[in-house]
Amino acid sequence: MDEPTPLTAEDFASDQTVKWCPGCGDYSVLKQVQSVLPTLGLRREEIVFVSGIGCSSRFPYYMNTYGMHSIHGRAPAVATGLKTTRPELSVWVITGDGDGLSIGGNHLIHLFRRNSDVNVLLFNNEIYGLTKGQLSPTSRPGLHTQSSPLGSVSKPFNAAGLALGAGAGFVARTLDRNPKHLREVLRQAHRHPGTSFVEIYQNCPVFNDGAFKAFTDKQTQATHALYAEMGKPLRFGEKSERGIRLEGLRPQVVSITDCTADELWIHDSRDKVKAQLLAQYFEDESELPQVFGVLYKEERPTYEALIAEQRRQVMAQRGTGKLDDLLRGTDGWTVT
């Protein structure tokens, strides 16, 4: 029998015209997802993209896979139901900072604690794009928007920190403008058996241009972005001349000439306390860089595996039963 022809990125692109604004970071994420999928050994009919509402939620239209453009903020609930009943499918949630953290914040945190084997890609552009530029839960203090003309006064969510706090077993942060890093994070998210949360800093050139410029601009990226790799010291700078050392739980920037290699913080993505530090701490500390990479990885049973096991045990005790008997129940009554 002939071997099936290997799929390419083009095989995963649908015939729909992509309708995002010119220069939108969403194009890069779409391209990287379409590039990575052929390397995962899946057939198109085994993959489902579920989205909510927002610019990024147009994503399923552009994929030549199964997909569902669901309701605002509810993609995690739809994906959990799908994965529970069809665990053999590769299920991906596409959401944004508004869809995933505001309208759908509740659904997202419950996906994390349940641990369905679903990959969540959260396009974080720190703004509502589709509705023309209002504050989102990740907008930074002082940001002038349609709904905060005098500047935002609210503290934003740290999406990665929120996911860790809600029990996500895989938490990563990456950028639209670092395609290689994004592809590697996507591969790791797919491999992780449980909910994988990938926060993607995504530039919205129309309503919040340059929000992540410090991490992508050639002049500043080396000193503002640190790429954490498992088992390696946290280092950054033009020539990797700076590192992070922990004083108790307090990170300090050091010159690597001023300390020995084993004094530096070695990234261990199994350590949840340190993952919280990586996700949260750096944001308020101007001297410290923002951290990208897989911050945390922990394997535990998935929701669908636990449900299947529970069902198997109950059926072993009580048999398969009949739907009609189930619907009638055992404690019905007659109204006279």
> Which residue is it, tokens 């239209």?
61
Interface with ligand SF4 includes 129 (CB under 6 A)? yes
Least Cα distance to 121 among 167, 168, 86, 172 occurs for 172
> Which of these segments, 33-41, 133-141, 287-295, 307-315, binds Mg ion (CB under 5 A)?
133-141
> Which of these segments, 16-24, 111-119, 140-148, 252-260, binds ligand SF4 (CB under 6 A)?
16-24
Could you tell me if 51 and 68 are in contact, meaning their C-beta atoms sit under 8 angstroms apart?
A: yes
Interface with Mg ion includes 138 (CB under 5 A)? no
Long-range CB contact pairs, 64-73, < 8 A, 24+ = 64/11, 64/12, 64/13, 64/14, 64/15, 65/12, 65/37, 72/99, 72/103, 72/104, 73/99, 73/100, 73/102, 73/103, 73/104, 73/105, 73/106, 73/107, 73/108
CA distances from 63 to 8, 123, 212 (A): 13, 17, 27
Size of the site for Mg ion (CB under 5 A): 5
Beta strands in the chain (DSSP E): 47-51, 66-69, 90-96, 118-124, 170-175, 196-201, 225-227, 235-236, 242-247, 250-255, 290-297
**Of 116, 125, 203, 290, the one binding Mg ion by CB under 5 A:** 125
Compare residues 70 and 203 and give the one whose CB is closer to ligand SF4: 203
The set of residues, in sequence order, having a beta carbon less than 8 Å from that of 294 and lying 6+ positions away, is 170, 171, 172, 185, 188, 228, 230, 269
> Which of these segments, 112-120, 203-211, 258-266, 315-323, binds ligand SF4 (CB under 6 A)?
203-211
Look at residue 105 and give its three-state secondary structure.
Answer: helix
Instruction: Give the count of beta carbons closer than 10 Å to the beta carbon of residue 292.
Output: 23
DSSP 271-287: -HHHHHHHHHGGGG-TT
Interface with ligand SF4 includes 261 (CB under 6 A)? no
Residue 51 contacts which entry, Mg ion, ligand SF4, none (Cβ below 5-8 A, type-dependent): none
**Of 67, 73, 76, 96, the one binding Mg ion by CB under 5 A:** 96
Least Å from the CB of residue 155 to ligand SF4:
23
Size of the site for ligand SF4 (CB under 6 A): 12
Helix (H) or strand (E) holding 178: none
Least Å from the CB of residue 281 to ligand SF4:
28
Interface with Mg ion includes 199 (CB under 5 A)? no
Compare residues 56 and 216 and give the one whose CB is closer to Mg ion: 56
> Which residue is it, tokens 């399923």?
60
Least Å from the CB of residue 202 to Mg ion:
8
Interface with ligand SF4 includes 99 (CB under 6 A)? no
Could you tell me if 122 and 73 are in contact, meaning their C-beta atoms sit under 8 angstroms apart?
A: no
Residue 50 contacts which entry, Mg ion, ligand SF4, none (Cβ below 5-8 A, type-dependent): none
For the segment 205-244, give every residue that binds ligand SF4 (CB under 6 A).
205-207
Least Å from the CB of residue 180 to ligand SF4:
22
Residue 290 pairs in a beta bridge with 225
**Of 97, 176, 199, 298, the one binding Mg ion by CB under 5 A:** 97
Would you give the binding string for ligand SF4 spanning residues 33-72, x where CB under 6 A is met? ----------------------x-----------------
- Which spans of this chain sit near ligand SF4 (rule: CB under 6 A)? 20-21, 24, 26, 55, 125, 129-130, 204-207
Q: Which residues of the chain form contacts with Mg ion (CB under 5 A)?
A: 96-98, 125, 136
